[in-house]
């Protein structure tokens, strides 16, 4: 399974140092996912993704603010690291627009944040139709929410990405 590290709350130098240390500790075979929770500006995200690219990062979740769909699209087009939309999916209309414009490489589907299993499954279908990947994860759910997310993950076609259900 991939290892996920939160970034964006420290200086860029500290984030880069932490990710470098993690890569060295895990070795080249392990997958690393980063999550900035929308903490970076477009300029900071662009700079950070260029600096992080040599570290073989699997993906970066929500590098810019949730409403900054155009910025997310610019980062995706730059192609440094695969870009995942997370908080940007909370608004159904915004999520559909994000998918339509291909503003992310993949979607992070959190049923608890998306209004339940049906809306999450609907976004998974829309992503698949648009050629985007996705993975299912949980929020701060109870055991019931994690089980529901697990059932959703099992019911959806797999893109080969590990789901984030061991949070």
- pTM (predicted TM-score): 0.91
Q: Residue 83 and residue 81: Cα distance in Å, rounded? A: 6
Residue 150 pLDDT: 84
Query: pLDDT tens digits, residue range 126-160?
Result: 999 999 999 998 876 778 788 888 888 888 887 67
- Both structure tokens of 19: 């990710």
- For residue 46, give both structure tokens: 């662009």
Q: Is 25 exposed, middle or buried (0-12, 13-18, 19+ CB in 10 A)?
A: exposed
**Both structure tokens of 97:** 């627009």
3-class SS at 83? Answer: strand
Complete DSSP assignment for 85-153: ESGGGSSHHHHHHHHHTT--SEEEE-HHHHTSHHHHHHHHHHHHHTT-EEEEB-SS--HHHHHHHHHHH
**Rounded to an integer, what distance in angstroms lies between the CA atom of residue 39 and that of residue 66?**
10
Quick check: 9 pLDDT over 70? yes
Active site residues: 6, 35, 61, 86, 110
Element counts in the chain: helices (H) and strands (E): 7, 6
Of the chain, the percentage scoring pLDDT greater than 90 comes to: 73
Contact 26, 57 (CB under 8 A): no
Average pLDDT on 73-93 reads: 94
The backbone torsions φ and ψ at residue 64, rounded to the nearest 5 degrees and listed phi first, read -120, 170
Look at the block and give the residue holding tokens 């990710």: 19
**Rounded mean pLDDT of the chain?**
92
Q: How confident is the model at residue 167 (pLDDT cuts 50, 70, 90)?
A: low
């Amino acid at each position: 399974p991939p290892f996920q590290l939160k970034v964006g709350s420290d200086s860029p130098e500290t984030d880069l140092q932490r990710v470098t240390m993690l890569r060295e500790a895990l070795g080249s075979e392990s997958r690393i996912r980063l999550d900035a929770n929308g903490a970076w500006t477009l300029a900071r995200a662009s700079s950070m993704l260029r600096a992080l690219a040599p570290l073989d990062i699997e993906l970066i979740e929500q590098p810019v603010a949730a409403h900054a769909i155009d910025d997310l699209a610019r980062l995706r087009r730059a192609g440094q690291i695969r870009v995942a939309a997370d908080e940007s999916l909370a608004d159904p209309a915004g999520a559909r627009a994000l998918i339509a414009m291909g503003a992310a490489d993949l979607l992070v589907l959190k049923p608890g944040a998306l209004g339940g299993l049906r809306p999450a499954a609907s976004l998974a279908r829309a992503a698949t139709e648009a050629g985007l990947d996705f993975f299912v994860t949980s929020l701060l759910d109870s055991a019931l929410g994690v089980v529901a997310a697990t059932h959703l993950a099992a019911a959806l076609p797999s893109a080969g990405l590990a789901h984030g259900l061991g949070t």
